[in-house]
Structure 1
Amino acid sequence: MNYTTNQEKQILGLIKWRRKEIQAERDLLKKSKGLTDFQSKQISEELEELRLLEMKNREMAL
């Protein structure tokens, strides 16, 4: 499936926004000492998935 340049920018923007939101949530949980090992692992996995999506999206834009 091919996306328009505008759609690719929107997707990349959403990925970046979601990564920032997850990182902020993780930081808040760390500060409140409410971050469990399980949550930490889940967050790390989700951040990695988003990082890979971002890389894939950038490759498609080339």
Structure 2
Amino acid sequence: MNRNWLRILSIAIPVACLVVSAVTARWGLLFLCVTPAFLQWGFGWGERKRNQSRDPKDPPWGGS
């Protein structure tokens, strides 16, 4: 999977949980517990990739 799919999934999964919690209110607590983990996973992954690209040994333009 490429980065775009991971970003889409990091948003789509919590949204799907929100829909489920709206339909069945008893799942609301599960949504509140699961969403921060997915958001941190999705956006944290992108932050790590950006930080790696700032490394002088591995410039963003792909030089070696």
What TM-score do the two structures reach when normalised by structure 2? 0.55
Q: Does 1:14 align with 2:5?
A: yes
Q: Provide the aligned length of Structure 1 versus Structure 2.
A: 53
Residue equivalent to 2:57 = none
Give the SS at the match of 1:36: helix
1:28 matched to 2:22: no
Q: What residue is the counterpart of 1:44 in the other structure?
A: 36
Identical aligned pairs, as a percentage? Answer: 6
Q: TM-score, normalised by structure 1?
A: 0.56
CA contact (8 A) 1:19 1:50 kept: yes
The amino acid of 1:23's aligned partner reads P
Give the deviation of 1:13 after TM superposition: 0.9
Name the structure 2 match of 1:59: 51
CA RMSD of aligned residues (A): 2.4
